[in-house]
Copies of this chain bind each other. A is one copy, B any other.
Amino acid sequence: MPRPATVSPEQILDAAALEFSERGYAGARVDRIARRAGVNKAMLYYHFGSKQSLYRALLRWIFSRAADRLLPIAAAAVPADEKIARVISAIAAFTAEHAFFPAIMLREVADGGVHLDPDTLQALARVPMVVGGVVRQGVADGTLRRVHPMTAYFSMLAPIVFFLAGEPIRKQLAARRLANMASLTPEVFVDELQQTVRLALAPSAPRASAAGRRHAHNRSSLRRKRL
């Protein structure tokens, strides 16, 4: 019983990605998704049941793909700081292919996960899990300084996602001459962010040849309770 190779479901997901990323869950219109997908609204309901199911299917799909993209980076035989640079590049590359990804992520955080069922939540959690694992390993083998893995996660992921999602508003600011960040292209930003994060997470002692020192001690005393 081969899969009914008509043309709809993937096209619907693509259209839904655009619509949901541009307008959010509440602002998205089922009619518009159907029209953008070139299918009938009833067709959409036939395949996905409801607006909510469609949204969840989209989130599972996009976050699973994102996490899958990061897995080989986490598994590579390179130091943690190099993995982190690659994660940043990978998010940027992933966004170049799926431009709607950053806005979806911002919106889901802002929505507090109210539309998510357990399966979707789990798919969504894989991204911080993978990145956190990279950091934890780097901290353990002394390649990175001691930080909470989730601090490192937010320090690298939030800027790149925020920046990429912010392109439309930067254009508005430029059009109104309220700011001009045209020189800050995604390429430049990725490059600077990689260096920024590398410096931020480097062990505090000068610069060993990436070999294992046990702990990186902080200069500033009264921090660090536990991770």
A: residues with CB less than 8 A from B are: 21-27, 103, 106-113, 116, 118, 121-122, 125, 128-129, 145, 147-148, 150-152, 154-155, 157-159, 161-163, 165-169, 172-173, 176, 178-179, 181, 183-184, 188-189, 191-193, 195-197, 199-202, 204, 218, 220, 223, 225-227
Report the Cα distance A167→B154, complex, angstroms.
13
A183 CB contacts on chain B under 8 angstroms: 148, 226-227
Query: Quick check: A121 and B197 within 8 Å, CB to CB?
Result: no
**Which has the most chain B C-beta neighbours within 10 Å: A112, A128, A197, A204?**
A112
Report the Cα distance A179→B161, complex, angstroms.
21
A226 CB contacts on chain B under 8 angstroms: 183
Report the Cα distance A155→B161, complex, angstroms.
11
A150 CB contacts on chain B under 8 angstroms: 181, 184
Residues A121 and B173 in contact in the complex (CB < 8 Å), given A154-B162, A159-B158: yes
A155 CB contacts on chain B under 8 angstroms: 155, 159, 193, 196
Query: Quick check: A154 and B159 within 8 Å, CB to CB?
Result: yes
Query: Quick check: A178 and B109 within 8 Å, CB to CB?
Result: no
